[in-house]
């Protein structure tokens, strides 16, 4: 009801604010006996954390994973696992100057309108920091999915208009922007470094591929795999769009071009992006998300304050010129949550 | 869990198959005392029904709305309203030839894989006919939203590559494709008529605008208004993508271009599409969905049968060469459901 | 949210009013492939229907089961099954005299206060007739449970102070009050016939036994099997209490008396009623519910009307002097719904 | 699905084990702006904590309330409030002797059967300690309910067969057993002290009264106020039964005795316990719960170990001879959660 819970059979609830004491998550529905270590979760957390490279915010968060409950002798007990990440390098004072201003592109105005009260430090629950709990939960879902033979990989496909033209999975984690094309990656890094100097930011496109899902996963009619993935992705702050398979290009195709034929070996093409009628076809599930340029920029902007008076604003803070590299593990995490949930729901249906 | 329920505080569950006895919906959470008539619902139902024009399937469905429960002397009682629409013009025999074939682009294969059993007539629950119940429920949500001062309008923005270049709301319901540009509409109709003759189909883009939503509606962090709208839209069979505000174009913008500034009168621009941090800004909520070309075409295609043997297939049946005109009221209905639900959730939070 | 839905993985939503067109239910989560016939459901429906004997209301309802969706060639498809039961013998005019009076013991006053609007014919959703949908759904759950080796039986244990002193399952369906002791049953029937003449009614106790549930079913900590059964039973209009195993008698026992010891063959005693920590022990699950005397009596009573004016009231109508015999199949149905739901949830957890 | 979440519009999820690092709760749906302090929550927590008197376990838990999120400058922000209570005085080694034994009356056997894995220290999630999070959440619900004019009080009505014969609210918190009759309270204390010496335990009955609820609260047909209260109460480990108003005694009453008449001033009697058709009448909501004798006793008992071998068992540990005094605040907390949830649901329905 109040929006902080996701999933049904594999369910998470996140808590915590950007500049509060901690952020974290409760995960309920983990298969009992699943082996989980803080170190495994930390691997994913480190991919999301700030301060990784020249293209990410210099805010330092140790983002140290701490499991509080739901584990016994290295195995999930099947009861709620609470994972907490304490906040350290907060510098809330950086926000005192702008505490009464509505930062353009941020949720300051809408949160105040919704709640009538607002924690002005950082962005409270609307901060990207909230996603740390999702990544922790996603790491656990991923562990389970791996045992099911499912793999999930996301990567930057485009940043600031620069598109990847080759696809190599090995290079993704080896460049600062998590692009699938090392040549494009270099251009992207340069672009971002330039924008950082100007105090500006840019958007991009992240693509995700999910492999190993057998045909038949997903619930019609409202909880289609693509519907749930779309919700999952749009629940990430900076995401403004999603498309599956041929996506918006399908709008310009004929039926005779778009329909994926089948032969003995399965589907001949994959315009559907691995999903038909909301249910997995067994082909790769492919989708792309549109990521908006980071809202926090130090270019002067115009806004109003809580009294409605017009005011110039320059957001100092420490921010990512492009959020793409750090959103990649969040997208993967959300995809993992959706899939693990649907595997469990499928088991319930057939039980 | 099993995917046929949508919403939390304003909740619907649909039932029924394309070629079964009936399709319908139960709506729970209607504000007691809301005046509702079958005639009002019928208005929306008639916009969705087949056989409206030269560009829609000739299948005739009276689609006569029948309210079975939850109403007393013209007013909602606040208890579950069940609305049923009986199926009439079914011609299931048209499907007997292809009952063992997997129609390209359809959910035949995936449903069989999921359930291990399949109602081969029509597409069962995967049929567009399932959306009739949604439109009925949406009409009730719309009635309530109108009383809240909210209006929702969707229209064809692009079909088969032909784009609307002007915007006039008055023309939408006056052309067979529900386009916002009468000149483009004429071209679209011609294109579709041509495709119909060839037995082919085409996709398109539908845009939706929601006005009158006050700032502050939506639940962070997972149940953002855009996340819920994305799920709602992707739950419609033919939809392959969605974007809000600047959408995928935002991926190519700078922060300084994309951020919407504010002045005394509110937001200066609306790249955000009326949503920040998942919560309404008070500006128009704008999104576009990518609609794939109708899967049912009579152009010869290649597929396999349930035994895995390769077979040619020609889908005869009666189908829409482009689903855009008839998907418009479904998109509006789903948007209505999301909004009415969020209004009620907001009331619960502040109660 | 609005109270007409029960269950998570095996979920039902009921609709319809006592004197409307129909009552019914949508069941979502049925295992695909489960063989189901209207005749099987009818068997349970006939046990609940009015007019069975001298001790039940003479209202005649054919209560003919009609499956509208979710079935194909005799098997559940795994999609929502809608079952409808049309109302026939309504005599709503019998209620016109009392349409502005609040009948003692009925929900007339509370429904009006809640909704601000009330369908005064029968009791609307508060009528026992609403349970017809539950019994239909329960019959399907029971079919599945039988295949899991689970059996459920409920019976009258006490009526109007007359207690069963022997236990024989064979006699339950052979006496008009569904008691487990034929001698007590005879006395109960006489008592009820006497009360019927006086226009009065009496309460009773119904006991339910569930066998064949393996140890380990149930979800801690809020969705304990007993917690869910308690909710299920108290959701039946006339039920005012429930106790498991030793129940209220446990309040007067010592720990050394109440604790069930174990030996090689399992539990030595079953004071726990088959549930420890909310999870099944493998022993018989045993509970009893307190059933209040039927509220509709023709003895003169005092009440007020919608304007607050004091008025005498004599409820004519046609009613059961004791609801116990007809509540038995409803209790069984609700127990079936809880168990089937938990079996599916257990499968999801371990998937 | 997995049982650790309760409520819909005011929702809590608890986490943590008896002998883990901490127990706690996330509360989602708190009215934004509600003033809340750790001290206020602590008041309720202190009523539940062990070591309060001669009749409670000597285990010492500071049970210090710590709010981690969802609060800003003393007010609820409307986002998830996480409250944690660290475990200190655990003495897990006391459990090492019995780690392979199934303690009679405990959930050891059922948890192992359910999960295939078990945290043998304390009782894991089945421990009464899990309820600490509920009490914290309940304190917040209570704060809100007080502002609605609702008050909730529970008290020991009977212990070990000794019944309260007078009713005085002032004495409840002034005697060690939280009884409503000071004379009975003295006898109860003596009885418990005697049982403590013998290493035995006893059960009791706790009654709860809720005042100030206006007529019309509750959701038919499954989420009746009494159905939800029944689930809430049965979700407390030691509770084996519940009855509302006349309860099981209603089973022995005639309709003419049980029906509550109305006059100008409202209801003349309250056999219904303040609820008709699952909806509040405006009268006091009254229910009683049966509390079993504490399972942990040091009287020698017979059980089996994980290999099925018969073994004698003496549970040393530190336990409450009667759980009634400490269950009182838990019962109140659960009642608060149910009511606050229903107030918010009612607001959603009428929004």
Closest to D69 (Cβ–Cβ): which among A1, A17, A115? A17
What confidence category does residue D318 fall into, taking pLDDT thresholds of 50, 70 and 90?
low
Closest to D31 (Cβ–Cβ): which among B9, B220, B351? B351
Distance between CA atoms of C100 and C103, rounded to whole angstroms?
Answer: 9
What confidence category does residue B19 fall into, taking pLDDT thresholds of 50, 70 and 90?
confident
The CA-atom distances, in angstroms, between A218 and each of A343, B3, C12 are 8, 8, 20
The reply to whether ipTM tops 0.95 is yes
The mean pLDDT of C78-89, rounded to a whole number, is: 92
What is the per-residue pLDDT across C225-246, written as a single tens digit (0 to 9) for each?
999 999 999 999 999 999 999 9
What is the per-residue pLDDT across B329-348, written as a single tens digit (0 to 9) for each?
999 999 999 999 999 999 99
Provide, as residue numbers in chain C, all residues whose Cβ is less than 8 Å from the Cβ of D345.
1-2
B2 is in an annotated binding site: no
The answer to whether residue C99 neighbours chain A at the CB level (below 8 Å) is no
Strands of the sheet containing D81-86, edge to edge, are D5-6, D11-16, D22-28, D81-86, D66-67
Query: Which strand (E) or helix (H) includes residue B305?
Result: none
CA distance B153 to chain D (A): 23
Closest to B348 (Cβ–Cβ): which among D1, D220, D344? D344
The count of domains in chain A is: 1
* Contact status, residue D4 vs residue A80, Cβ threshold 8 Å: yes
A168 is in an annotated binding site: no
Test B348 with D79 for CB contact under 8 angstroms: no
pLDDT at residue C11 in the model: 98
From B245-259, C304-318, D248-262, the region with the lowest mean pLDDT:
C304-318
Test C117 with B72 for CB contact under 8 angstroms: yes
Angle between helix A324-350 and C324-350 (nearest 10)? 140
The answer to whether residue A112 neighbours chain D at the CB level (below 8 Å) is no
The token pair at A179 is 């692009």
The answer to whether residue D127 neighbours chain A at the CB level (below 8 Å) is no
Instruction: Give the domain CATH number at B316.
Output: 3.60.150.10
User: Chain D: residue nearest B32 by CA?
Assistant: D350
* Contact status, residue B281 vs residue B181, Cβ threshold 8 Å: no
pLDDT, greater one: B54 or B176: B176
User: Chain B: residue nearest D351 by CA?
Assistant: B344
pLDDT at residue B92 in the model: 62
Mutate to test the interface with D, among C158, C179, C219, C259 (most CBs of D within 10 A): C259
Angle between helix D324-350 and D131-147 (nearest 10)? 50
What is the per-residue pLDDT across C241-267, written as a single tens digit (0 to 9) for each?
999 999 999 999 999 999 999 999 999
* Contact status, residue A294 vs residue A320, Cβ threshold 8 Å: yes
C-facing residues of D in 160-199 (CB < 8 A) are 160-161, 195
Dihedral-angle region of residue A84 (phi above 0 means left; psi in -120 to 50 means alpha; beta otherwise)? beta
Encode C74-111 in three state secondary structure. CEECCCCEEEEEECCCCCHHHHHHHCCECCCCCCHHHH
Q: Which domain holds residue C323?
A: 5-350
- Residues of chain B above pLDDT 70, percent: 96
List the chains bordering chain C where 3 or more Cβ pairs fall under 8 Å.
A, B, D
Phi and psi at residue D131, to the nearest 5° = -70, -10
pLDDT at residue A95 in the model: 66
Look at chain D and count its residues: 351
pLDDT at residue B320 in the model: 86
Closest to A344 (Cβ–Cβ): which among C1, C78, C351? C351
Closest to A13 (Cβ–Cβ): which among D21, D77, D80? D80
* Contact status, residue B86 vs residue B22, Cβ threshold 8 Å: yes
Q: DSSP states of C146-163 as a string?
A: HHTT-EEEEEEEEETTEE
**Residue D317 pLDDT greater than 70, yes or no:** no
What confidence category does residue D292 fall into, taking pLDDT thresholds of 50, 70 and 90?
very high
* Contact status, residue A105 vs residue A38, Cβ threshold 8 Å: no
* CB-based burial label for D246 (10 Å; 0-12, 13-18, 19+): buried
The answer to whether residue B283 neighbours chain A at the CB level (below 8 Å) is no
Strand partners, A204: A159, A291
Helix (H), strand (E) counts: chain B: 8, 18
The answer to whether residue A32 neighbours chain D at the CB level (below 8 Å) is yes
The mean pLDDT of A89-105, rounded to a whole number, is: 78
Q: DSSP states of A195-247 as a string?
A: HHHHT--B-EEEEEEEE-PPTT-S-SSSS-HHHHHHHHHHTSTTEEEEEETTG
**Residue A202 pLDDT greater than 90, yes or no:** yes
A293 is in an annotated binding site: yes
Phi and psi at residue D341, to the nearest 5° = -60, -45
Alpha helices in chain B (DSSP H): 38-48, 108-115, 131-147, 169-172, 182-198, 225-234, 255-258, 324-350
pLDDT at residue A120 in the model: 76
What confidence category does residue A241 fall into, taking pLDDT thresholds of 50, 70 and 90?
very high
Using alpha carbons, select from A33, A39, A35, A29 the residue that is nearest to residue A81.
Answer: A29
The mean pLDDT of C28-35, rounded to a whole number, is: 98
A5 is in an annotated binding site: no
What is the per-residue pLDDT across D123-155, written as a single tens digit (0 to 9) for each?
889 999 999 999 999 999 999 999 999 999 999
What confidence category does residue D46 fall into, taking pLDDT thresholds of 50, 70 and 90?
very high
A296 is in an annotated binding site: yes
- Average pLDDT across chain C, whole number: 94
List the chains bordering chain A where 3 or more Cβ pairs fall under 8 Å.
B, C, D
């Amino acid at each position: 009801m109040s929006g902080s819970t996701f999933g049904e059979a594999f369910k998470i609830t996140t808590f915590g604010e950007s500049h509060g004491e901690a952020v974290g998550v409760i995960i309920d529905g983990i298969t009992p006996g699943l082996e989980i270590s803080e170190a495994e979760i930390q691997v994913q957390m480190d991919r999301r954390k700030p301060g990784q490279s020249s293209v990410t915010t210099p805010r330092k968060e140790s983002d140290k994973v701490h499991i509080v409950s739901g584990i016994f002798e290295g195995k999930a007990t099947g009861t709620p696992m609470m994972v907490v990440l304490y906040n350290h390098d907060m510098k809330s004072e950086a926000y005192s100057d702008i505490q009464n201003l509505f930062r353009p592109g941020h949720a300051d105005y809408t949160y105040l309108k919704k709640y009538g009260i607002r924690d002005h430090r950082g962005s409270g629950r609307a901060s990207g920091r909230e996603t740390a709990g999702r990544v922790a939960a996603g790491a656990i879902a991923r562990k389970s999915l791996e045992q099911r033979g499912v793999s999930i990989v996301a990567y930057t496909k485009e940043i600031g208009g620069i598109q990847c033209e080759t696809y190599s999975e090995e290079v993704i984690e080896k460049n600062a922007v998590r692009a699938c094309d090392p040549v494009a990656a270099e251009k992207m890094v340069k672009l971002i470094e330039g924008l950082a100097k100007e105090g500006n930011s840019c958007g991009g496109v992240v693509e995700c591929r999910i492999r190993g899902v057998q045909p038949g996963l997903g619930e019609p009619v409202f909880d289609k795999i693509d519907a749930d993935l779309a919700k999952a992705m749009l629940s990430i702050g900076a995401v403004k769009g999603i498309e599956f398979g041929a996506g918006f290009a399908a709008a310009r195709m004929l039926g005779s071009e778009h329909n994926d034929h089948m032969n003995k070996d399965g589907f001949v093409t994959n315009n559907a992006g691995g999903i038909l009628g909301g249910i997995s076809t067994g082909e790769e599930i492919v989708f792309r998300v549109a990521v908006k340029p980071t809202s926090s920029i130090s270019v002067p902007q115009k806004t109003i304050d809580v009294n409605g008076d017009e005011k110039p604003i320059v957001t100092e803070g420490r921010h990512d010129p492009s959020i793409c590299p750090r959103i990649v593990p969040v997208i993967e995490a959300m995809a993992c949550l959706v899939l693990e949930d649907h595997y469990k729901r499928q088991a319930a249906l057939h039980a």
